[in-house]
Chains A and B, each alone.
Chain A
């Protein structure tokens, strides 16, 4: 049997395409829901209301709070993970036996499910026996409230997020650092260029594509973080850690307001789509670059 040459690649991608369609249908359904008055408890009220759900969430102070909390969370996690990840990558850049071992061991937190990682931290910050409470008491901080106080909950969540995801940035940058060409460094060495100058003028610019890709990747995941926050604080206390997806989850399953939850998710999708667009461009560049070297 001979299949038309032009059609052949499509035949190969067909199975994957079917899954695509299967995912796109619920996606469009969600967009459709977001234009409806749709509460599971009041099925007879269901009806098309155009953009009322959107108008309602954008005039609702608690949705603005959600946006603010999500952006704060994203900003803190990405910035701190980048700084720490870059620092560790620089520290481990030289290939010594202990650096190699540590480089492998540091991947481990990243391989633990974020939900389970939160559970681990819950056991370590428990007010009765948490080992981190003990550490804090050693440096004079008593009764630190962690996730149960609105003023420290974001700190706690960011800390757990950092624990899980800093290794992601670290291994990407470490691979980047080790792939950098040696020549500029050797030349700088010969010229006796000081270390900080070498770092800001050679290392950082050459590492920049890696940094940008890693950051965009993390941003995309961070703004949608659900597991860690759901497991640790469920958006509380009050609404102090209410991020997009946790809010949509509660709107769906506690208040059964499908229309409103769908509208929130479409807003988040729009943000994610924009970020994704920027990310894919950058990621593609880096991919082409490393492929070119290989």
Chain B
């Protein structure tokens, strides 16, 4: 009995070890790599003992890389800036479009309401290219190719269903009686919506906005197809590094670290809400 429980313990420790190695070691390793020189990275036996350097980050911030072939310009900071613009604007637009709709779906039973809600949900699961290929041709014709506006609009495909369905759940949790009582005092619908419903659902709205931000930030395919390097976010920018062969590997790692810091930070802040967000409101955390 006791030997089997020791065996159990050993197996458990091993399981923890492999889980940590598989899921967390890669993040740690890339982080360490971003402080290494190319020579240190290229060592035959990888080691965690090295003299850390900030050169990779400095080069990215300055936008100039010195390679054996001369000084090369990189516009990675521009990519990060683009990511911020695209993700924030997408979230703002989603809030404007989604909050009233989420409220309507939560409060009123109306003809076609569920159908509309599910149609919007189904956008999340439609193949991206099905919609982007024609859009690409439209945008080119309309002169919208390569504009923030066009991208922000397409980003609604991901952010709108997400926000709509999560916030709908939060509005459903707000008691209708409080709203009624407030309106019996002679306040208008808009006032009760603005002063009662939204503040009560605010933590949920804030968390789902941040989840939308993360998803917009992590999107890759929309900007790959609908934008040139001028407006492309970090996801596309980072990938173009690997094709430019002269770029030192430590610099790519530094680029990766910079690109994931915002999303990882946000994720840690809202981790309590993540389960609910990721399951579109179906599972409570």
Residues of A within 8 A of B (CB): 6, 8-10, 12-13, 15-17, 19-20, 22-23, 26-27, 29-30, 33, 87-88, 91, 102, 104-116, 119-124, 126, 128-129, 131, 134, 163, 166-168, 171-172, 175-176, 179, 210, 213, 217, 220-221, 224, 226-227, 230-231, 244-245, 248-249, 252-253, 258, 261-262, 265-266, 268-269, 272-273, 275-276, 279-280, 283, 286-287, 290-291, 293-294
How many interface contacts (CB-CB < 8 Å) are there between A and B?
264
- Interface of A: prevailing SS: helix
Task: Let me know if A12 and B104 touch, CB within 8 A.
Answer: yes
- Nearest-neighbour CB distance to chain A for B268, whole angstroms, equals 7
The docked-state distance in angstroms from the alpha carbon of A83 to that of B169 is 30
- Nearest-neighbour CB distance to chain B for A234, whole angstroms, equals 11
The docked-state distance in angstroms from the alpha carbon of A16 to that of B100 is 9
Give the chain B neighbours of A105 by CB distance below 8 A: 23-24
Known: A123-B30, A291-B172. Contact between A115 and B133, CB under 8 A? no
> Of B26, B104, B225, which is within 8 A of A9 by CB?
B104
Nearest opposing residue in chain B for A210, CB measure? B283
Nearest opposing residue in chain B for A258, CB measure? B133
Task: Let me know if B108 and A8 touch, CB within 8 A.
Answer: yes
Known: A27-B126, A107-B271, A268-B130. Contact between A16 and B46, CB under 8 A? no
- Nearest-neighbour CB distance to chain B for A38, whole angstroms, equals 10
Q: Which of B51-59, B63-71, B153-161, B178-186 contacts A (4 or more CB under 8 A)?
A: B153-161
- Nearest-neighbour CB distance to chain A for B91, whole angstroms, equals 14
- Nearest-neighbour CB distance to chain B for A135, whole angstroms, equals 9
Give the chain A neighbours of B122 by CB distance below 8 A: 273, 276, 280
Interface string of B28-53 (1 = CB under 8 A from A): 01100100000001110110000000
Give the chain A neighbours of B110 by CB distance below 8 A: 6, 9-10
- Nearest-neighbour CB distance to chain A for B52, whole angstroms, equals 17
Give the chain A neighbours of B235 by CB distance below 8 A: 113, 115-116, 227
Task: Let me know if B19 and A287 touch, CB within 8 A.
Answer: no
- Interface of B: prevailing SS: helix
Task: Let me know if B116 and A104 touch, CB within 8 A.
Answer: no
Task: Let me know if B267 and A121 touch, CB within 8 A.
Answer: no
Task: Let me know if A120 and B104 touch, CB within 8 A.
Answer: no
> Of A113, A116, A248, A273, which is within 8 A of B129 by CB?
A248
Give the chain A neighbours of B282 by CB distance below 8 A: 213, 283, 286-287, 290
- Nearest-neighbour CB distance to chain B for A170, whole angstroms, equals 9
Task: Let me know if B134 and A29 touch, CB within 8 A.
Answer: yes
B205 within 8 A of A: no
Task: Let me know if B43 and A119 touch, CB within 8 A.
Answer: no
Give the chain A neighbours of B131 by CB distance below 8 A: 23, 26-27, 30
Give the chain A neighbours of B256 by CB distance below 8 A: 116, 119-120, 123
Known: A123-B33, A280-B118. Contact between A108 and B264, CB under 8 A? yes
Task: Let me know if A272 and B264 touch, CB within 8 A.
Answer: no
Known: A171-B275, A258-B133, A268-B127. Contact between A290 and B283, CB under 8 A? yes
B60 within 8 A of A: no
